[in-house]
Amino acid sequence: MSPLDFAAVESVKPALGRLKDRVALVTGVARPRGVGAAIARLFAREGAAVCVTDMVPEVRARAAEIEAAGGRALAIEADLTKWPAVEKMTAGIIASLGRIDILVNVAGKSVPPRPAFSDMSLEYFDMVMDRNLRTAVHCCKAVLPEMLGRNYGKIVNIGSTTGVVGVYRHCAAYAASKGALTAFGKALALEVGVHNINVNTIMPSDIDTGDAPWKPGDPARDLGLYAAHLAPAIPRPVRSEEVAELALFLAGDESRAVTGASYLIDAGVTLVEGMVSGPQ
């Protein structure tokens, strides 16, 4: 088994029941090799009932996969940029499963084409902020009353290294949305910590989701993203399953004293001097 054979590792790793009897809501789960799907699968294997949501019908396939593996899953197709849809989704989960113990905000993306800020329309900027920030804000706003009522909750936001450093050119809107998400998580953690609710942020680098082979220096990587991966401290890409393992820690009881934290998981990409490159 090679060091990067994550599928084989996951198939033999024993479940420890770290989320037994918990109810988790994971957003952005449609992509089969994406971070959301990896988190949902791991949480289910560790005993949680997992509610998976996305704005496209493929999310139902992810729920079916979890159930086929012996887990419990509920699929909800919803546009999380719309507050009424989030209210309806949350009410449905609580009606079906009684509560929401864990929220993982994965939904969001860098929306191509990525224009330079000087050429960017305000409509494009708003769209990126809606997908990467407003979705998380909506979900936090919706689940918090129930968490506050029980004096318990775990919230994990998936940010990005782009919210800390520029990483690549033409990312002003995306960087703003992810930077704001990290700051939002810290402020919310301070506000709700007295209620035994933990709020933390994971900041991955560009992730190899298995959609295409990752090759250092691949010229197909657009806008200089590939250049950031030429010489990371750990010379390989981050995988969705590795982000899921960190999310599991933050969603479990082992992290009960951890809140307001921001975790880089980037193979050391942000350590590389001069990494912010790309086409001139």
Q: Which residues are catalytic?
A: 174
Phi and psi for 96 in degrees, rounded to 5?
Answer: -85, -40
What values do phi and psi take at 244, rounded to 5?
-60, -40
| The length of the chain, given as a count of residues | 280
Find out whether the peptide bond into 113 is cis, omega within 30 degrees of 0: yes
For residue 16, give the 3-state DSSP assignment.
coil
Closest CA to 229 of 203, 204, 262, 266: 266
Distance (Å, rounded) from C-alpha 125 to C-alpha 111?
10
In the chain, the N- to C-terminal Cα span, in Å, equals 41
List the beta bridge partners of residue 155. 103, 199
Q: From CA 106, how far away is CA 203, in angstroms rounded? A: 11
- 155: alpha, beta or left? (left if phi > 0; alpha if psi -120 to 50): beta
Rounded distance between C-alpha atoms, residue 5 and residue 120, angstroms: 40
**Angle at 133 (CA atoms; ends 193, 182), nearest 5 degrees:** 45
156, two tokens: 């994990």
Instruction: Look at the block and give the residue holding tokens 């029941």.
Output: 17
Q: Which helix (H) or strand (E) holds 51?
A: strand 49-54
| Strand (E) or helix (H) holding 77 | strand 72-77
**Closest Cα partner for 227 from 155, 278, 182?**
278
